[in-house]
Structure 1
Amino acid sequence: MSYRSRLSRPTRRGILAAGGALGIGAALAACGGEKAAGSKTEEAGTGKSGPWSFTDDRGKKTETKSFPKNIVAFTGTAAALHDYGIEVKGVFGPTKGKDGKPDVQAGDMDISKLEIIGNVYGEFDVEKYAKLVPELLITDMWQKDILWYVPEQSAKKIASLAPQVALWAAETNMEKALARRAGLAASLGADLKAKKTVDAKARFEKASARLRAAAKAHPDIKVMIGSASAELFYVSLAKMSADTLYFQELGVKFIEPKVDAQGFFEGLSWENVGKYQADVIMMDNRSAVLQPKDIANKPTWAQLAAVKAGQVIPRVTEPIYSYAKCAPILEDLAKAIENAKKVA
């Protein structure tokens, strides 16, 4: 399905998946720690049996008599679990590009070893999913009780095949989203005291402190969150997304667009792209949307102050919520703010 056709969907869910601004904002029920509340599992992949339980962000407690081994997850969530040493059997969501290379959301996973249940929004092969004999499905949640990238038309059939866990990718900030996924990974057997994980968390905390210091030292630098399609340029509202909400809490100043009825972003025609001027522009890096090189020939884009100054950086719009993947995101933004010239 093309980006354009997905964008025309009337639902908020379709718009979010298409690549405008993705929303995130308030509190989670029970932030995971070393172990998720109610978990009784042993180490993943050791052959030890359960019982296993985990309470997700819908408030639903999933309990299984034996340890879940055949796990299927949304690609980005699977990539986060991979960073903690938890492997899945299958994935759904952006996984493989047209060139066969891993999508940015696949992280460090070896996609050749994964069963891809669906690669684009609206695609989920229920038959292929059933053949995996799934014991657990894990995905994100951008709207309450709606599972990310699980098609509504087949949601009941999919739910009948295995227990499901959903974690907020909205209604939270990056720090809390990280804690919840770490908690889930721990419940599935990950060792959060492993040196790799401890070092990654320390790097994240150091990066957070660096970004806070950069924002404090450069209070006049304004950042715009952008995403591009052939017809429109989207300017996102920072507080509606877990990553940018967290950056805002650390002191980063963002352009505040007049959002549409969905509350996430303002769509501008290319003729009106100059409505907002920023010193730094963060551009959506997902494969479904246009990248800066694709819009370089648009005169209104080229005339933006940040573009002329070369102060455009990628935005990881759907972060892989592991400390290892989020630390560099903060470091890159801190560096951009530290080096930015006041141009707007």
Structure 2
Amino acid sequence: MSDTAGAGAGTGAGAWGFTDDRGTTLTAGRRPERVVAYVRAGAALLDLGVRPVAVYGSGHDGELLDPVKAGGLAAAEVPYLGPGRALGDSAVARIRELGGADLVVDVTYDGKSPYALDEAFAERLGAPLVALSVGSELSLPGIVARFGELAGALGAAGTGAADAEAADVAEAAVRAAAGRGAVHVLALSGAGPEQVHLARPHAWPELARLAELGVRFVDPGPGPGANWLTTDWEYAVGLGSDLVLFDSRVNAVPPHRVPAGARLAPWNPETPPSAVAYARFFEDVAGALEAGV
């Protein structure tokens, strides 16, 4: 996954600086060492060599860490604080018990606001907030590169050659599998027995990257919604896909109906933005495509 990264980190003599994807430049007298992060961002930073002090969820998350979104966080015993916008005094106290925080890392989909946390909570911690884009305005390689820049600014060595090679191998496997047969793929998130959200592939950087590699996605068609078309299962079945990538997060429900003969494969729309995490997902997609050739 190679791409030109956006404007990012810089350090001066005895100082630390980083410009996030809202265009906000943060400076400090020393490099931050204690990071509290949104689960997705924290899992990516962990892959890149930065272990968060603690992580929090989004409005979709509950009081327990979603294992699908967690990456290596549970194995690394990183504490989970609960949904970000519900955090209050007890979370502040917990973070202070853990030694405090000097940086909060969230994601942004609109380039303006942090996704999972009220910025006022970071202010209560006395820590600046960095928000990195995971929306469609950046390519998948660009998103991964930005997280690599932040990890580097926080003192990590960055993505190793082995991780980069794994990503390249996984992409090559997808390209080869996609080229061996016309497998039509539909990505969706179940909302219940009567409703389903169908992904617009161009709006999801990992799906857009898969399409660049030759994966044939089914277009949900016109209608409201920039990222999803919300409809019923009968409509989804009528689109006639061969492979269904279903949202495997805890807040989503399993597919209620799929086209006859279609296969299922899990998709985490919040895969940690690291080369190694996307390599695992792309390997799974390649295998699912091969099974249908």
If the length of structure 1 is used for normalisation, what is the TM-score?
0.74
CA displacement at 1:189 relative to structure 2: 1.0
Pick from 31, 44, 55: which aligns with 2:6?
A: 31
Pick from 135, 160, 169: which aligns with 1:206?
A: 169
CA displacement at 1:126 relative to structure 2: 5.3
Matched, 1:177 2:177: no
Q: Is the contact between residue 68 and residue 135 of structure 1 (CA under 8 Å) also seen in structure 2?
A: yes
Number of residue equivalences: 283
Residues 270 and 192 (structure 1), Cα distance of their counterparts in 2 relative to 1, 3 Å cut? closer
Q: Is the contact between residue 173 and residue 241 of structure 1 (CA under 8 Å) also seen in structure 2?
A: no
| Aligned sequence identity (%) | 26
Query: Larger deviation: 130-139 or 55-64?
Result: 130-139
Matched, 1:287 2:250: yes
Pick from 81, 101, 106: which aligns with 1:117?
A: 81
Report what 2:25 is aligned to: 61
The residue type equivalent to 2:280 in the other structure is P
Pick from 123, 132, 137: which aligns with 1:167?
A: 132
Report what 2:191 is aligned to: 229
The residue type equivalent to 1:68 in the other structure is P
CA displacement at 1:214 relative to structure 2: 2.2
RMSD, aligned CA: 2.7
Residues 101 and 71 (structure 1), Cα distance of their counterparts in 2 relative to 1, 3 Å cut? closer
Report what 1:328 is aligned to: 280
Aligned pairs for 1:292-331 (under 5 A) are: 292=255, 295=256, 301=257, 304-305=259-260, 308-309=261-262, 311-331=263-283
Matched, 1:137 2:137: no
CA displacement at 1:192 relative to structure 2: 2.7
Residues 221 and 274 (structure 1), Cα distance of their counterparts in 2 relative to 1, 3 Å cut? same
Q: Distance in 1 between matches of 2:75 and 2:87?
A: 17
Structure 1: runs of 5+ lacking an equivalent: 1-27, 42-49, 296-300
Q: Is the contact between residue 211 and residue 331 of structure 1 (CA under 8 Å) also seen in structure 2?
A: yes
Q: Distance in 1 between matches of 2:74 and 2:80?
A: 12
Residues 281 and 102 (structure 1), Cα distance of their counterparts in 2 relative to 1, 3 Å cut? closer
Residues 96 and 284 (structure 1), Cα distance of their counterparts in 2 relative to 1, 3 Å cut? closer
Query: Larger deviation: 177-186 or 107-116?
Result: 107-116
Residues 245 and 201 (structure 1), Cα distance of their counterparts in 2 relative to 1, 3 Å cut? same
CA displacement at 1:225 relative to structure 2: 0.6
The residue type equivalent to 2:47 in the other structure is D
Q: Distance in 1 between matches of 2:112 and 2:65?
A: 32
Q: Distance in 2 between matches of 1:101 and 1:74?
A: 11
Residues 206 and 53 (structure 1), Cα distance of their counterparts in 2 relative to 1, 3 Å cut? same
CA displacement at 1:149 relative to structure 2: 0.7
CA displacement at 1:328 relative to structure 2: 1.3
CA displacement at 1:97 relative to structure 2: 7.1
Q: Is the contact between residue 118 and residue 124 of structure 1 (CA under 8 Å) also seen in structure 2?
A: yes
Q: Distance in 2 between matches of 1:158 and 1:337?
A: 43
Report what 1:7 is aligned to: none
Report what 2:235 is aligned to: 272
User: Deviation per CA, 1:205-256, whole angstroms, max 9, x where unpaired?
Assistant: 11112212222332x2211011101131111110001110111121211111
Report what 1:91 is aligned to: 55
3-state SS, counterpart of residue 152 of structure 2: helix
Q: Is the contact between residue 68 and residue 136 of structure 1 (CA under 8 Å) also seen in structure 2?
A: yes
3-state SS, counterpart of residue 172 of structure 1: coil
Matched, 1:337 2:289: yes
If the length of structure 2 is used for normalisation, what is the TM-score?
0.86
Structure 2: runs of 5+ lacking an equivalent: none
CA displacement at 1:268 relative to structure 2: 1.4
Q: Is the contact between residue 102 and residue 111 of structure 1 (CA under 8 Å) also seen in structure 2?
A: no
Q: Is the contact between residue 200 and residue 219 of structure 2 (CA under 8 Å) also seen in structure 1?
A: yes
Q: Is the contact between residue 29 and residue 59 of structure 1 (CA under 8 Å) also seen in structure 2?
A: no
Report what 2:37 is aligned to: 73
CA displacement at 1:330 relative to structure 2: 0.8
